[in-house]
């Protein structure tokens, strides 16, 4: 009997220790709505961000590595005061700091000064690293988790149209010198090699860095009415990598004209970027870019608010309403109606939601292991969509999540074979579920 009690005590101790260990890691709490190139962290700027539906910003001492650790925490104080979380950047947060005893000591002071700050969401590490640098970033990520396991180590990845040299995969020797930025924004010439290179880049990143979140950027809207060819392919590859790694993903999308080949998205196109991401099970949107000079063509130009800032803010309100519901769901499948964009698949025969009548995306989700929730999204950002939705989700009430009321409302009673007409604004979507 004593042996049994001892075994139970040991087992309970192990379970408690495991639970404590699991608690000491970053977990996403809300759907991320953020931006690239955040405004200066003033009360006025952060109040505007919160009003416009953002819940994550960046604070940084980008140009001064000599700023004392206690001064660093003051920037987070402004974020906390205004009710917004932040990613924190400082020049010390780089792999080289671990190889320099003096810098490492300063990095430790910095982490200690901010790791308990309620406004801190994580540490901003780098943007679009090549695969050859993954070991260094993996080392830094591991070190940050040892020092502060409850906050995110954030790294953003290249899009699928980056070339082999930029991705730095399957090369006989390391790339030398600057490789520049991806210049094939249209994704022209997509072939099997594109997928092989990009999947290898993702695999090496996940295997080595072991990220808690996958972030990437993809810029789709080009001048003269042209669109890129690999937006959905990129979404699918990222979604698959995130699903395999059991981590969420964030999509950085276009809200500026920093590149000469880009057009400025209109509100329908901005909505399209948000709803395609949500239909694919994404857990965050980041708008590129928010604050910059007039030549960048972003939401704020030389400190002046542009009309696109208001348009993004309106789209953010949709995301803000849907976000809490989407955080409860697990994406299971994503289908498209024809004509199929590159990297997509048609609605499977066994899918309990069939859609006809236009260009649509169908995102299937499950909640508590039950696949009864779906999003129908209008892939046409120029015209209203009229979808005919045939359901085989059993008998029950069809519920629609109302953006305006921010709650589920009953649409009608359905049974297997029921056909429901759904009207969708250009680039928009609706979230449904069937309950008994």
The SS3 assignment for 373 reads: strand
| Plot region of 406 (φ>0 → left; ψ -120 to 50 → alpha; else → beta) | left
Between CA 56 and CA 356 the distance in angstroms is: 37
DSSP-assigned letters across all residues of 293-348? -GGG--SEETTEEPHHHHHHHHHHHHHHHHHHHHTT-EEEEEEEPSSPPTT--BPP
What spatial distance separates the first Cα and last Cα of the chain, rounded to whole Å? 48
CATH 2.60.40 fits 330-435, yes or no: yes
Q: Out of 12-16, 149-153, 250-254, which region has the weakest mean confidence (pLDDT)?
A: 12-16
Q: How confident is the model at residue 186 (pLDDT cuts 50, 70, 90)?
A: low
Assign domain 26-326 one CATH number from 1.10.10.10, 3.20.20.80, 3.40.190.10, 3.90.550.10.
3.20.20.80
Q: How confident is the model at residue 66 (pLDDT cuts 50, 70, 90)?
A: low
Between CA 352 and CA 335 the distance in angstroms is: 12
- In the predicted model, what is the mean pLDDT of residues 62-74? 65
Q: Is the pLDDT of residue 297 over 60?
A: yes
- The one-character DSSP state at 278 is H
Alpha helix locations (H) across 123-255? 134-147, 164-167, 192-209, 231-245
- In the predicted model, what is the mean pLDDT of residues 350-367? 97
Class of residue 403 by CB neighbours under 10 A (exposed 0-12, middle 13-18, buried 19+): middle
Between CA 350 and CA 330 the distance in angstroms is: 19
Residue 5, C-beta contacts closer than 8 angstroms, at least 6 positions apart:
none
- Beta bridge partner(s), residue 366: 330
CA angle 295, 38, 275 (to 5 degrees): 90
Q: How confident is the model at residue 20 (pLDDT cuts 50, 70, 90)?
A: very low
Q: How confident is the model at residue 19 (pLDDT cuts 50, 70, 90)?
A: very low
- The one-character DSSP state at 172 is S
Q: Is the pLDDT of residue 300 over 50?
A: yes
CA dihedral 192, 193, 199, 201 (to 10 degrees): -170
Residues 412-433 have pLDDT tens digits of 999 999 999 999 999 999 999 9
Read off the tokens for 89: 């950047």
Domain spans in the chain, listed from the N-terminal domain onward: 26-326, 330-435
| Plot region of 140 (φ>0 → left; ψ -120 to 50 → alpha; else → beta) | alpha
Q: How far is CA 293 from CA 46, 114, 254, 258, 301, in A?
A: 19, 30, 16, 10, 5
pTM (global) more than 0.85: yes
Residues 212-256 have pLDDT tens digits of 999 999 999 999 999 999 999 999 999 999 999 999 999 999 999
């Amino acid at each position: 009997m004593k042996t049994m009690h001892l075994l139970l005590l040991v087992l309970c101790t192990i379970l408690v220790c495991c639970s404590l260990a699991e608690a000491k890691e970053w977990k996403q709490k809300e759907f991320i709505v953020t931006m690239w190139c955040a405004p200066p962290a003033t009360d006025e700027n952060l109040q505007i961000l919160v009003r416009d539906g953002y819940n994550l910003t960046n604070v940084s001492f980008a140009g001064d590595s000599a700023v004392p650790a206690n001064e660093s925490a003051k920037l987070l104080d402004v974020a906390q005061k205004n009710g917004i979380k932040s990613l924190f950047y400082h020049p010390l947060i780089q792999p080289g700091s671990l190889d320099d005893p003096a810098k490492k000591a300063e990095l430790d002071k910095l982490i200690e000064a901010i790791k308990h700050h309620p406004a801190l969401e994580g540490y901003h590490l780098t943007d679009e690293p090549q695969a050859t640098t993954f070991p260094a970033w993996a080392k830094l990520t591991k070190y940050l988790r040892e020092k502060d396991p409850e906050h995110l180590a954030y790294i953003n990845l290249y899009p699928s149209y980056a070339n082999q040299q930029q991705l730095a995969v399957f090369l006989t020797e390391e790339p030398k010198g600057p490789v520049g930025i991806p210049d094939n924004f249209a994704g022209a010439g997509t072939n099997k090699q594109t997928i092989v290179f990009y999947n290898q880049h993702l695999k090496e990143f996940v295997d080595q860095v072991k990220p808690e979140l996958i972030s990437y950027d993809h810029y789709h809207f080009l001048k003269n009415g042209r669109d890129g060819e690999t937006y959905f392919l990129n979404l699918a590859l990222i979604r698959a990598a995130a699903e395999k790694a059991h981590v969420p993903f964030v999509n950085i999308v276009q809200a500026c004209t920093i590149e000469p080949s880009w057009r400025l998205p209109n509100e329908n196109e901005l909505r399209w970027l948000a709803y395609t991401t949500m239909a694919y099970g994404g857990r965050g949107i980041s708008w590129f870019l928010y604050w910059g000079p007039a030549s960048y063509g972003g939401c704020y130009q030389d400190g002046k608010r542009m009309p696109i800032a208001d348009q993004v803010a309106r789209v953010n309100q949709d995301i803000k309403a849907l976000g809490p519901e989407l955080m409860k769901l697990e994406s299971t499948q994503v289908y498209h109606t024809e004509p199929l964009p590159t990297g997509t698949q048609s609605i499977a025969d066994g899918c309990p939601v069939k859609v006809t009548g236009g260009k649509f995306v169908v995102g299937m989700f499950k909640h508590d292991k039950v696949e009864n929730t779906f999003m129908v999204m209008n892939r046409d950002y120029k015209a209203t969509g009229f979808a005919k939705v045939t359901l085989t989700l059993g008998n029950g009430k069809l519920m629609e999540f109302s953006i305006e009321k921010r709650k589920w409302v009953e649409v009608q009673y359905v049974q297997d074979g029921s056909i429901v007409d759904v009207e969708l604004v250009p680039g928009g979507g609706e979230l449904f579920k069937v309950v008994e």
